[in-house]
Amino acid sequence: MDEYFAPIHTYQVCNVMSPSQNNWLRTGWIPREGARRIYIEVKFTLRDCNSMPGVLGTCKETFNLYYFESDRAVGSTIRENQFIKIDTIAADESFTGVDLGVRRLKLNKEVRGVGPLSRRGFYLAFQDIGACIALTSVRVYYKRCVGVSRNLAVFTDVVTGADSSSLVEVRGQCVDHAEERDTPKMYCSAEGEWLVPIGRCVCSAGFEEHRDSCVACEVGFYKPVAGDGLCGKCPQHSHSETRAAVSCPCDSNYYRAADDPPAAPCSRPPSAPVNPISSVNGTSVNLEWDRPLDTGGRSDLQYSVQCLRCSGESPCEDCASSPAVVRFIPRQTGLTEPWVTVLNLAAHSNYSFRIVSSNAVSHLSNEPLQFSVVNITTNQAAPSEVMAVRQENTSQNSVTLMWHEPDQPNGVILEYDIKYYEKDHEDQTYSTLKSKNTSALVSGLKPGTKYIFQVRARTSAGCGRFSQNVEIQTGKAVPLRYNTMTILWICMGLVSGLVAFMAIIICRKRHCGYSKAFQDSDEEKMHYQNGHVSFPDARFYIDPHTYEDPCQAVHEFAREIEASRIKIEKIIGSGEFGEVCYGRMRLPGKRDIPVALKTLKAGYTEKQKRDFLAEASIMAQFDHPNVIRLEGVVTQSKPVMIITEYMENGSLDSFLRRHDGQFTVIQLVGLLRGIAAGMTYLSDLGYIHRDLAARNILVNSNLVCKVSDFGLSRVLEDDPDAAYTTSGGKIPIRWTAPEAITYRKFSSSSDVWSYGVVMWEVMSYGERPYWNLTNRDVIKSVEEGYRLPAPMGCPAALHTLMLDCWQKDRNERPRFCQIVTVLDKLIRNPENLKSMDTLCSLNSPPLMERAAPDFSSCNSVDDWLDTIKMGRYKEHFAAGGYHTLGHVVSMNQGDIQRLGVTLMGHQKKIMSSVQLMRAQVLNKSVPSVHV
Ligand code: ACK
């Protein structure tokens, strides 16, 4: 019976009484079956020798365990000494006779391992050397690590190593749809345990891990690469139609760029850019636009600009095909910001620009690229630089020069200016010479002297830049024999040289403080005559009243035109002396040109005729692109007429009112720049206008402003804005400087004051200066220091310039040439036009109070809109639910746009008014004056 009282069979021996026992029990042949180390578990019982009297000396309490390896069963042929001893086994438990009484044996269990085994099988043997022993069971086994799956790799069953401390390295195989990351390995210990897992497998693309295996991604999901990640949902605008997708193809009309990761949503080309605007500045244009409404779901939006030049009926052609290279700043393609400046366009030409938007998938789509079109017409511009000036011939006293026409004449070249001076006397003086063609003979030079020559072209739009300096030395003098005639000539030369020198001194004194001797046409005061050299001389305008007979003056300056060459076509207005008409003038060998004709009405007095023609005499002396040009006069037949160039857009004040809010600030500054350039020219000639006002500026079809109205009596009679002063004179009070009103002290500085008022008129689109204040109140408030406030939307820099023009002390006011410089800087750096906060003047701080219209008298939205001359939007505001001013003050520009106010100028006007109102309503921080 075993310990559980189950009957068992045993092998037993108990020859404890007899000495020298050697009893063997051997197993049958046991095949090894791949085991390299075997374990033998022996269960046995052993009787305590002490419990048996009389056995001392012969009784043993151990037995020996042996093995023998063989490739086959050899049975009884093995001799005892061939067995290899595994161990002597003693019992942990032994029993005595008492135990037998309860027939219950105490079993011992001993396990021994042996290895490595190498033969196909083996035998075990037990040697009894005199113990009382019973073998109840012998279990022979080996160990293995049982197959497992770990880290997505399968490790199959493996037999343990040969000895007790060896580990067996086992490589795992990745499960289906998985791939090795690092070779998966584990070690099987001698005890049959898996140890130290190394490396792993990951699910392949299109599969994800689920309970130690890799399962396919469902439809609508994908996994692009092998890895630990799970399947992801297909990105926006893409799909997968089968399981185990590694990518999601794009829906139709959507694309993925080459660089886009599979996880990126599919995208499409952008829509066209919106709200393109252009501002033309001579022969360059700034184009700006807003981002496309649909960017196609991408952020790599880019723009390119196609330039087409269009003329007449022939199809527009690419700008690249024109000889002069059109330049794009910052570049023509690959623009990331929504603007570009295009330079070097031809003057007076039509251009069409396509602003194309694209992104990285545009080329994948069959649809054409989306674009917006901006059409522009360039303005007048001076010609480009004259090239390749060279000497053709040189003698002792003369040099013949030749040069090429400028690349971009920008109009018909009227003449070339040749400027030259002695190289070593650069700072003293220079001379000029004019030539109608591309060569000139410069004579009257000193022998053996180095001269510097420069050439520039002139068109009706003004002068181009001077060419590079060309240095030429005249031939060496042959010694002269001095006779009386020579000495006489030398004396005459010296006298005229002295006269010339004094003229230069006078001329320099009048010159604009900031400039050097060499200036552009506006500042230049050299006297010249076509085709031959002259000495420097200051050139002044000559008052026709200094002539005894002003009619003589008119014929000295202006050309007489035969009435038969004039065709009057329509009346366009009326002047003080008669109708103003539009007509055409035909000159021999030339095409008809449009002209304006000022007529002298029948029944005039001699004085009226004189005054009428005086204007022509004055105008005839002027030659500047920003001063109205006289074509001629008709005095030999009736009606007597003054013929001038025709200005398609009429006078500036009505032109601005017709186009209220339609121009960019840069365009308005362009207009002002032209007027200032014209006034620089006039003031340099010593001409004081006395009635500079927007109504006396004319505008042509290219938006070039020209100063006009040079009559002598007009300030007194002609001008509806002129009023009698206490001193009896008739003066346009709102435009006139205080010293001119009070003391009749007219000067170029008082013209500058008027120019400031013109600036205000321009920036407010033809608003009446000082609104409905009476002339008396205007004089009074100006005297008290009140100055016109910045018009709505007027940049601070411009209002500051106005305030400078309105300095009480006329010496503190800027000169016209300085005004041109300031405006040019603003045009070049338009960001300076963005601020609406008044800056301090550079000259002197404006003492003037800043004032603004007071809206407190406005009772309703309609009242307010009328006040700011935006009454046309009453219905828009009502429809948008803006019924009270309380609603209006909280509006922003977006709200105004949404109401349907599309013109930028109107948006700005309304917005500035809202801001002003807000300031007045909220904190009363803007001082106001009732006007
Ligand atoms: O504002 P307007 O159309 O422009 O009306 C006045 C009108 O004649 C009376 O002076 C127009 N005017 C004057 N001179 C010219 C000109 N040279 N070209 C075109 N219009 C002119 C002015």
DSSP codes of every residue in 306-344: EEEEEETTEEEEEGGGSSSPPEEES-SSSB-SSEEEEE-
CA of 650 to the centre of ligand 1 (A): 5
- Between 723 and 171, name the one with better pLDDT: 171
Query: pLDDT tens digits, residue range 449-475?
Result: 999 999 988 876 667 888 988 999 998
Query: Which pLDDT band holds residue 548 (cuts at 50, 70, 90)?
Result: low
* Mutation choice for ligand 1 from 571, 580, 702, CB with most ligand atoms inside 8 A: 580
How far apart are alpha carbons 124 and 24 in whole angstroms?
10
Whether 172 and 148 have beta carbons less than 8 Å apart is answered as: no
Whether 39 and 113 have beta carbons less than 8 Å apart is answered as: yes
Handedness of CA 816, 818, 824, 830 (dihedral sign): negative
583 in contact with ligand 1, CB cutoff 6 A? no
599 in contact with ligand 1, CB cutoff 6 A? no
* Mutation choice for ligand 1 from 576, 647, 697, CB with most ligand atoms inside 8 A: 647
Whether 613 and 598 have beta carbons less than 8 Å apart is answered as: no
The pLDDT of residue 530 is above 60: no
pLDDT, average across residues 197-212: 93
Residue of minimum CA distance from atom 20 in ligand 1: 650
Query: pLDDT tens digits, residue range 661-715?
Result: 889 899 999 999 999 999 999 999 989 999 999 999 999 999 999 999 987 544 4
Told to judge if 691 belongs to the known catalytic residues of this protein, a careful annotator would answer: yes
The pLDDT of residue 506 is above 60: no
The pLDDT of residue 337 is above 60: yes
Q: Is the peptide bond before 639 cis (omega within 30 degrees of 0)?
A: yes
Ligand 1 closest atom vs CA 695: 1
Instruction: Judge residue 285's burial from the number of C-beta atoms within 10 Å of its C-beta, 0-12 exposed, 13-18 middle, 19 or more buried.
Output: buried
Which stretch of 393-402, 403-412, 478-487 has the lowest confidence by average pLDDT? 478-487
Question: What pLDDT, on the 0 to 100 scale, is given for residue 533?
Answer: 28
The pLDDT of residue 500 is above 90: no
379 in contact with ligand 1, CB cutoff 6 A? no
Question: Tokens standing for 850?
Answer: 């800043």
573 in contact with ligand 1, CB cutoff 6 A? yes
Long-range pairs for 218-225 at CB < 8 Å and ≥24 separation? 218/243, 219/243, 219/245, 221/245, 222/246, 222/247, 222/248, 222/262, 224/261, 224/262, 224/263
Q: Are strands 121-128 and 148-150 parallel, antiparallel or unpaired?
A: unpaired
Ligand 1 closest atom vs CA 645: 17
Calculate what percentage of the chain has a pLDDT beyond 70: 85
Question: What pLDDT, on the 0 to 100 scale, is given for residue 392?
Answer: 87
412 CB neighbour count, 10 Å cutoff: 9
How far apart are alpha carbons 817 and 677 in whole angstroms?
7
Query: pLDDT tens digits, residue range 133-177?
Result: 999 899 999 999 999 998 999 999 999 988 877 888 899 999 999
Which stretch of 245-249, 402-406, 795-799 has the lowest confidence by average pLDDT? 402-406
DSSP-based helix, strand, coil % in the chain, nearest 5: 25, 30, 45
Query: Which pLDDT band holds residue 926 (cuts at 50, 70, 90)?
Result: very low
| DSSP one-letter code for 250 | B
Residue of minimum CA distance from atom 4 in ligand 1: 650
Please provide the DSSP assignment of 758-778 as one string: HHHHHHTTSPPTTTT--HHHH
The pLDDT of residue 928 is above 70: no
Which one of 425-429, 822-826, 862-866 scores highest in mean pLDDT?
822-826
- Between 413 and 62, name the one with better pLDDT: 62
Which one of 359-373, 482-496, 861-875, 897-911 scores highest in mean pLDDT?
359-373
580 in contact with ligand 1, CB cutoff 6 A? yes
Residue with tokens 């490790």: 155
Question: What pLDDT, on the 0 to 100 scale, is given for residue 75?
Answer: 78
Strand ranges across the sheet with 327-329:
274-281, 284-290, 339-343, 327-329
Query: pLDDT tens digits, residue range 352-382?
Result: 999 999 999 999 999 999 999 999 888 777 7
Q: List the alpha helices (DSSP H) in 30-119.
A: 97-101
* Mutation choice for ligand 1 from 656, 698, 717, 721, CB with most ligand atoms inside 8 A: 698
The pLDDT of residue 787 is above 50: yes
654 in contact with ligand 1, CB cutoff 6 A? yes
Instruction: Judge residue 91's burial from the number of C-beta atoms within 10 Å of its C-beta, 0-12 exposed, 13-18 middle, 19 or more buried.
Output: buried
CA of 333 to the centre of ligand 1 (A): 44
Question: What pLDDT, on the 0 to 100 scale, is given for residue 589?
Answer: 76
- Between 145 and 323, name the one with better pLDDT: 145
The pLDDT of residue 731 is above 60: yes
Query: Which pLDDT band holds residue 630 (cuts at 50, 70, 90)?
Result: very high
CA of 909 to the centre of ligand 1 (A): 28
Question: What pLDDT, on the 0 to 100 scale, is given for residue 512?
Answer: 45
Query: Which pLDDT band holds residue 424 (cuts at 50, 70, 90)?
Result: confident
Calculate what percentage of the chain has a pLDDT beyond 90: 47
Which stretch of 16-25, 202-211, 427-436, 831-840 has the lowest confidence by average pLDDT? 831-840
647 in contact with ligand 1, CB cutoff 6 A? yes
CA of 563 to the centre of ligand 1 (A): 21
Q: What is the mean pLDDT of the chain?
A: 84
Whether 13 and 60 have beta carbons less than 8 Å apart is answered as: no
698 in contact with ligand 1, CB cutoff 6 A? yes
Residue of minimum CA distance from atom 19 in ligand 1: 647
* Mutation choice for ligand 1 from 570, 571, 572, CB with most ligand atoms inside 8 A: 572
Query: pLDDT tens digits, residue range 634-643?
Result: 998 888 999 9
CA of 757 to the centre of ligand 1 (A): 21
Query: Which pLDDT band holds residue 179 (cuts at 50, 70, 90)?
Result: very high
- Between 430 and 714, name the one with better pLDDT: 430
Which one of 103-107, 214-218, 879-883 scores highest in mean pLDDT?
214-218
628 CB neighbour count, 10 Å cutoff: 22
CA R_g for the chain: 55
Instruction: Give the count of alpha carbons within 13 A of 85, CB side only.
Output: 8
Residue of minimum CA distance from atom 7 in ligand 1: 573
Predicted TM-score of the model (pTM): 0.43
Task: Return the axis-axis angle of helices 816-828 and 665-684, rounded to nearest 10°.
Answer: 150
Residue of minimum CA distance from atom 11 in ligand 1: 650
How far apart are alpha carbons 561 and 580 in whole angstroms?
17
CA of 581 to the centre of ligand 1 (A): 8
Question: What pLDDT, on the 0 to 100 scale, is given for residue 140?
Answer: 96
Question: What pLDDT, on the 0 to 100 scale, is given for residue 426?
Answer: 62
Please provide the DSSP assignment of 511-575 as one string: S-TT--S---TTT-----BBTB-----------GGGSSSHHHHHHHHS-B--GGGEEEEEEEEE-
Question: What pLDDT, on the 0 to 100 scale, is given for residue 96?
Answer: 67
Cα angle: 132, vertex 136, 137; to 5 degrees: 135
pLDDT, average across residues 575-590: 86
The pLDDT of residue 494 is above 90: no
pLDDT, average across residues 824-852: 59
Catalytic entry in 260, 660, 684, 691: 691
